[in-house]
Chain A
């Protein structure tokens, strides 16, 4: 069953085209990721789907309701965690929770089981003002408040930005458990490594989706052999590889350099290794690898 349906959405702010024809569908209980850098249009899309902003053209439905004509129905059944901290800084943790519950005509007790997993981690600080919480705790409180009315669809706009890798992993585990409750989750992130944790992803850049598929499907579309290169020294390695005629893409990736050849050839690995050895590099290793979502994003965003 389709829970979120988006058709050809366009939105401009003056001369800036924030969204340039975006379409996708998310199924009930799906964890759908929108992956892309700041300024790509992610937040604009979230605001349109949560009925806070009206698109210039195109249409969308959430939980079967039209985002323009039936905005009231949508507001009652979605949870929204905006990118910027949006809770009441001067209310305590507990007061924020009670406030959001009462706005939606429910109580914290009624839906406690749904948020317990996350809320328990901040409950020891329930008398503290929200403004005095650390970044990670604010995020947990914001997620708890966004869920306290048991929404059908949850929109999370960059919930893990600025969060360290360990806390990010924990956050994604929590999303996995919410998904099991049948909640549809649309989540955006600038971190490419989080893409693999989604059922399906859309890669967004400059207001357009440049790819939409399962993470595996995106990787399978890469289309060219990708190689990882390493050697005993890194200084100059990138530039030396860039100087090689037969290579197309060439960029740093952690402690290695990823390369693709202009033309597919069984000889690429050997030729690159020999060329580097001739330049005096030792321990040269060139091996064929499976692309990551980040490699795919870089390829798809190349104009």
Chain B
């Protein structure tokens, strides 16, 4: 039996006028895999991610995410994914439970399950006592963990994390990655971008975008062998230095 692919992209392309932001990228992501999506600023990561999330239509090529076609069924894509970014994830003025309820409601979590699931999640995170606290009063590390839990509250097949750990202290960053591993163990596929190269090492496989193309894709160990270097930092440096286009 063929492995189950949660993301399949084939020749996915996006042009803005004459500018090719994403240039025929082809790749698969397996169920439960932690897939690192790296690239320099301006390499096309955000544009590619927006297409995969059903927010932007490709100029050419095709992709399915969680079994849904991103062109024909963008609304079904959105219901079957979770999304979290460092820049936006929770409403700061709403209390912790209000945020959970809002996102749970949007993603169609059944009303009768909501209260129990909320309490379970907050106990697991060890912040049950903060249930009625406005999110803006939480320390950043807690906020990121809560945002991630909210992003997977409706048990999506895949969760997109756009630089989830930027600015977080080293200890909280590691705790965050342990949550990512737990989610992946439960079968949730994780698609993550990061500028921390040590975090690239935590991924099962990593792709590196340069000038809109995926120029390398393998396990971190495989990439280091392929480029004959000792760290992902050096792999990234070797590839990104070749980039022709500015930001």
Contact = CB atoms under 8 A, between A and B. Distances in A.
Nearest to A190: B167
Contacts of B220: 255
B222 interface: no
Contacts of A297: 169-170
Interface residues of A, number: 34
Interface in A148-189: 158, 161-169
B236 A165 contact: yes
Contacts of B169: 36-37, 40, 190, 205, 297, 301
Contacts of B197: 165, 254
Interface stretch (B34-42, B64-72, B112-120, B123-131): B34-42
Contacts of A302: 171
Contacts of A217: none
Interface residues of B, number: 34
Nearest to A160: B195
A17 to B, nearest CB: 13
B213 to A, nearest CB: 16
Contacts of A121: 246
A117 interface: no
Interface of B: 39-42, 139-141, 163, 166-172, 174, 177, 195-198, 201-202, 220-221, 231-233, 236-237, 240-241, 246-247
28 contacts: A37-B141, A37-B167, A37-B170, A38-B167, A38-B168, A39-B139, A121-B246, A134-B41, A134-B42, A134-B247, A161-B166, A162-B166, A163-B195, A164-B39, A165-B233, A168-B195, A190-B169, A191-B196, A192-B170, A205-B169, A252-B174, A252-B202, A255-B220, A294-B170, A297-B169, A301-B169, A301-B171, A302-B171
